[in-house]
Structure 1
Amino acid sequence: MFKSLASESKLLKISVLVALFFAILGVVWGKLVSSQLILFDGLYSLVSVMLSLLSLLVAQYIKKNDTKRFPYGKEMLEPVVIIIKYAVILILCIVTVITAIESLLSGGRETSVGQALIFAVVNTIGCVGVYFLLNKNKDRSGFIQAEANQWKMDTLISGAVLLGFFTAVIISFTSYQFLIPYVDPLMVLIVAGYFIKVPIVEITRAFREVLEMSPDQVIETNFKKVVNSIETRYQINESILRIAKVGNKLFIEIDFILNPQSKIVTIADQDKVREEIIQQTKGLVYKKWLTVSFTNDKRWAQKDLA
């Protein structure tokens, strides 16, 4: 566990440092060549730096043991931070779209396309490298997955920058040079407009965790398969399964309603069932908070007692 946490912190630090480098490079270069698209890329990276630092601080805070104040753990902080991260990105995308529309309506923007193309090549290569590093380790935590998503967006933004300015360079050798001022704001509009949906999707997913709603179908199906198998082998007629995913932790509660024919008799039998559940769900790479109860009266499994 501690090795995993160390790896998480190391990956988040790499993300912060590289994002900071490209943020400064993008803002400075965007101003020098008068490119709104490069400036947006730099501002996105700058926002990523601040949000990555927030993720790093919260990830370190979560791993500190404090069961007295947080008896169920601090994993709820993870989706809350993710909501904040993507809310800021959403605002950035909306403001950028509005700015791009204003530029298009005012006749475009003159840009030094040759120098902008150089930046696009360097930036795209760097973003691809960091994205693949994080994406390879995204299952370790929600923070790393969020970082990978951010770098995926940044990679595609950088790719769009590269495509846009490569197109502008080609146009500069044709009789359509008058279109060059429109390339930069048009690409900004396409890129920022497209990526508005990414933070919306991620905010919705994080809100589901904050509200402790059911997790992805794959997780629920996996546990249902295990529970059904136990019911068959131990002659249990009915059970109630509840699962909620919060950050990198699964809260699983299973109530088995026994009958006279059930093969669960002793405490040892109950512990054996618990061990089977854990062993058969090892493929789900989450921390698990497992509560398994056994009762002869279904009323005690309803959980809504007066």
Structure 2
Amino acid sequence: MGGLRESERAEQGALRLSIGLSVALAAIALIVGVASGTRIVIFDGAYMLIGLILSWASLRASSAVAAGPTRRFPFGRDALAPFVVAIQGVAIAGTLLFAAGDAVVIIRDGGTDVNPVVIAAYGAVTATIGSAVAWWLPRAAGRSDLVAAEAAQWRAGAVLSIVMTVGAVAALLIEMTDLREVVQYIDPVLVLISCVVLVPIPIRLVRSGLNELLEGAPPPATTEEIARVVDEVRNRYGLGEPAIRSSKVGRKLYVEVDFLVAASQWDVSEEDGVRHAVIDGLSHLGLDVWATVALTTDRDLVD
């Protein structure tokens, strides 16, 4: 449990840093966007503000999960983590939908004047910061679904900034040609392109969150590791092929392993040994393993 507490502290520290950076960048984005009348920058600032709210929700969820079981929640509140992840996906999807609709209206109304230099400079700075934070977060907090979702937000923001920068450079080049009227459409077109590029991120977040809330199977890599560990334990104790069921909710990894054995050959202490071997074998995953191992003579209980 000491390792889990350490990982929870790292998770909360990473989320706090993310919140602080989000506040600073969102303020800069809104000031620059409003002052220059650039929708793509305002959209970026709004995206960061929504991300800030979601980061705060992630931090609160992390604190609630770290508090452990209570009388009202005897198994803890780990389900808050995938719930917040799914909410993050829905919120990001709503932001993209609103921004895309606004961009279409602007294109229909004949575009808008922008300063490509402002967009290029802003995009280059935020792309660098966003990429750095997205790279650092998972390394600072290890296996944390909340931090992974946070990193996905920063990665999405970095992609948005890269699209912004490339589009602004293209606009600067177009201004040197006879097609300079096209520059009026650069701002809303950049917003639309960014929305299309970012669509996979909310889909992935919602799918991941719902999978855990519905007690779906863990990620393939985790499932394969469970099978490997159980196979090693089976061979060590001379057991037959087991029935394995597993699911992951937040930091909790539920593993149920049922072995069919002959009558009168095993006692409770030996069953405990098998269970400890499974838990110890999965401890390197950095998750709170809740393992149920049963040695039974009843085939119906295995099937």
TM-score range, shorter chain: over 0.9
Deviation at 1:93, TM superposition (A): 0.3
TM alignment of 1:58-97, pairs within 5 A: 58-97=61-100
Q: Which runs of structure 2 are paired with 1:283-302 in the superposition (5 Å)?
A: 283-301=284-302
The number of equivalent residue pairs is: 300
Q: Is the 1:242–1:253 Cα contact (8 Å) retained in structure 2?
A: yes
Uncovered stretches (5+) of structure 1, i.e. residues with no partner? none
Q: Partner of 1:266 in structure 2?
A: 267
Q: What's the TM-score, normalizing by structure 2?
A: 0.93
Deviation at residue 198 of structure 1 after TM alignment: 1.5
Task: Point out where structure 2 has 5 or more consecutive residues left out of the alignment.
Answer: none
Q: Deviations over 1:163-203 (max 9, x none)?
A: 11122122222322111111111111011122122101210
Aligned counterparts of 2:148 and 2:162: Cα–Cα separation in 1? 21
Residue 139 of structure 1 aligns with which residue?
142
Amino acid at match of 1:168: A
Deviation, structure 1 residue 130: 1.4
Once the two structures are superposed, the pairs formed by residues 1-306 of structure 1 within 5 Å of their partners are 1-137=4-140, 139-260=142-263, 265-301=266-302
User: TM-score, normalization: structure 1?
Assistant: 0.92
Contact 1:238 1:256 in 2 (8 A): yes
Task: Choose 7-16 or 269-278, whichever is displaced more.
Answer: 269-278
Give deviations 1:37-71, integer Å, cap 9, x for gaps: 11111100010011101111111111113342222
- Equivalent position SS for 1:140: coil
Q: Which amino acid in 1 is paired with 2:134?
A: Y
Residue 298 of structure 2 aligns with an amino acid whose one-letter code is D
CA 1:174 to 1:138, structure 2 compared with 1: closer, same or farther past 3 Å? farther
Contact 2:7 2:141 in 1 (8 A): no
Listed one character per residue, the Cα deviations across residues 91-115 of structure 1 (whole Å, up to 9, x for unaligned) are 0101111111121222111102222
CA distance in 2 between partners of 1:5 and 1:217 (Å) = 24
Tell me the C-alpha RMSD between the 2 structures.
1.8
In 1: Cα distance, 2:115 partner to 2:100 partner? 21
User: In the alignment, residue 35 of structure 1 is paired with which amino acid?
Assistant: T
Task: Provide the C-alpha distance between the structure 2 equivalents of 1:180 and 1:235, rounded to a whole number of angstroms.
Answer: 73
Relative to structure 1, the CA distance from residue 242 to residue 292 in structure 2 (aligned partners, 3 Å threshold; closer, same or farther) is same
**Identical positions, percent:** 27
Matching residue's letter, 1:269:
E
Asked if 2 retains the 8 angstrom alpha-carbon contact of 1:94 and 1:196, the reply is no
8 Å CA contact retained: 1:23, 1:46: yes
